[in-house]
Amino acid sequence: MSVVFAVAETVNLRGDGGRVPLEDVLIFANPIAGRGRGEALARNLEARFKGDGLGARVLMDRPGRLLAGDVAGPVRAAVVIGGDGTLRAVADQLLKLRPDDYPPLLPVPLGTANLMVRHLGFRWSTPQLVEGISNAVLARRVRMLDAGRANGRLFLVMVGVGIDAHIVHELDRLRQGPITFFSYLAPAVMTFRDFDFAPLQVTVDGREVLSREPGVAFVGNVKEYGAGFPVLPFARPDDGLLDVCLLPCRTRTDLIRLFLHAAAGEHFLSEGAVYLRGREVTIASDREAPVQMDGDPVGHTPVEIGLLPVQLPFIVP
């Protein structure tokens, strides 16, 4: 069952007992998002929210250090301008609050890939961006979603070990300036040329489900993925479980076959593929294999993955 629900007009009780709308909107912006357009958008939003009769505070460059005073009063929403990394940093800060106090998150990408925005179903277009965000905050439809931790770090979408992780590690090593679709081209070609799949050992809830088999492993919470096809097609973001997809792959020929299957959305049917759900997943390998979380390079195996005991609120269209 879906848990989308609308908070039609959330109210709080002030000292005088009067009912007033939740009113503050926090605006987090990565100052370098969209080549500096992040700050301009944050200021435009601040003015718009004030025009809407809400309070607004812009917290530039602060996702990594939310202060207790920032959420001392009622907060209607936390707008996060930037990529998945900025969103994760803000979410990580919210987790320091009491769960009842988590403001719902509204991620807004700006020239950066944002897998979570895609998942939530927002299709922001530049001309109506400010108006669309304002409408979403006023409507405040909230959906509670699971969030994961891998090696102590928060992730919202997916953890990958294998070729995708190689590509994002390689991209990180080569990159200069903002990432575009074409930035992935050279790392992808190099990864395909050089990649030697590490044998992976995968355990789900204490049971070994892959035993020293070379391949690719995806563990996550939502379907969508940057590659444009759902890597975890059966994932539900609110079921308290992680979806796990393991794709054995020994050779480049296997990899091509896997890629073709994936393009058809049938990778989980390929030979030897394992698809299951669980709460605790560990991925180890004899030699270090790169790990990506939500599309960012984050270290190497071994990696321990689980869900947080709390869910995070997100504003949905």
Binding site for Mg ion (CB under 5 A): 221, 236, 239, 241
Beta strands 199-204; 280-285: pairing state:
antiparallel
C-alpha distances in Å from residue 149, one per residue of 197, 244, 282, 284, 302: 24, 14, 12, 16, 14
Amino acid identity, residue 152? Answer: G
Which C-beta is closer to Mg ion: that of 188 or that of 241?
Answer: 241
Closer residue to Mg ion (CB): 115 or 258 = 115
Report the residue number whose CB is nearest to Mg ion. Answer: 239
CB nearer to Mg ion: pick between 241 and 276: 241
In this complex, which beta carbon is closest to Mg ion, that of residue 119 or of residue 166? Answer: 119
Rounded CA gap, 57 and 65, in Å?
Answer: 15
Judged by beta carbon, residue 146 or residue 170, the one nearer Mg ion is: 146
- Tell me whether residue 110 or residue 116 sits nearer to Mg ion (CB atom): 116
Q: Please, what is the minimum distance in Å from the beta carbon of residue 156 to Mg ion?
A: 12
Nearest distance from C-beta of residue 284 to Mg ion, angstroms: 23
Instruction: Give the nearest distance from C-beta 267 to Mg ion in angstroms.
Output: 18
Dihedral angle sign, alpha carbons of residues 38, 39, 40, 45: positive
CA dihedral 119→298→209→197, nearest 10 degrees, is 110
Shortest reach from residue 200's CB to Mg ion, in Å: 21
CB of 91 to Mg ion, least distance (A): 16
Quote the least distance from Cβ 313 to Mg ion, whole Å: 16
Angstrom distances, CA of residue 199 to CA of 78, 105, 262, 270, 286: 42, 38, 21, 18, 7
Give the end-to-end CA distance of the chain in Å, rounded to a whole number: 18
